[in-house]
Amino acid sequence: MATLSFHASAVTARKIRSAARKRGIPMSRFLRETAEQAAEGEPVSGLGRELEKLAIDGLAFAALARVRSRAAATGLDKMTPRQITAVIKATRHARRA
């Protein structure tokens, strides 16, 4: 069985624990069932939507970290806003050509 993990704010963690307690099930089971319902396309509760947003935010954060590390490795993390704009314009122009 695969192990999944994600980061949650203290407020969200309290909401998840509270919802699991209300249903009388362990938090891990609550999260698994909520994720399975979302994956099967069943209507998702408000908390389920929050978990889905957390997962998407986590993926976006990981992608941003990769972009930043690649920029640092190539020295592009020290560009001025004007240099960035010039590179974007040149790239767009090249795509059109």
Q: How many CB atoms lie within 10 A of CB 34?
A: 22
Query: How many structural domains comprise the chain?
Result: 1
- pLDDT tens digits along 60-78: 888 888 988 998 898 878 8
Instruction: Kindly state whether residue 82 falls inside one of the protein's structural domains.
Output: yes
Distances (CA, A) of 4 to 50, 73, 91: 17, 29, 38
80: its two tokens? 């001025």
Instruction: Kindly state whether residue 4 falls inside one of the protein's structural domains.
Output: no
- pLDDT tens digits along 26-59: 988 988 888 888 778 766 567 777 777 888 888 8
Whole-model pTM?
0.42
> Any alpha helices (H) in the chain, and if so which ranges?
10-23, 27-39, 46-74, 81-96
Q: Give the residue numbers spanning the domain of 44.
A: 10-96
CB 34 within 8 A of CB 51: yes
| 68 alpha-carbon distance from chain centroid | 16
Instruction: Kindly state whether residue 15 falls inside one of the protein's structural domains.
Output: yes
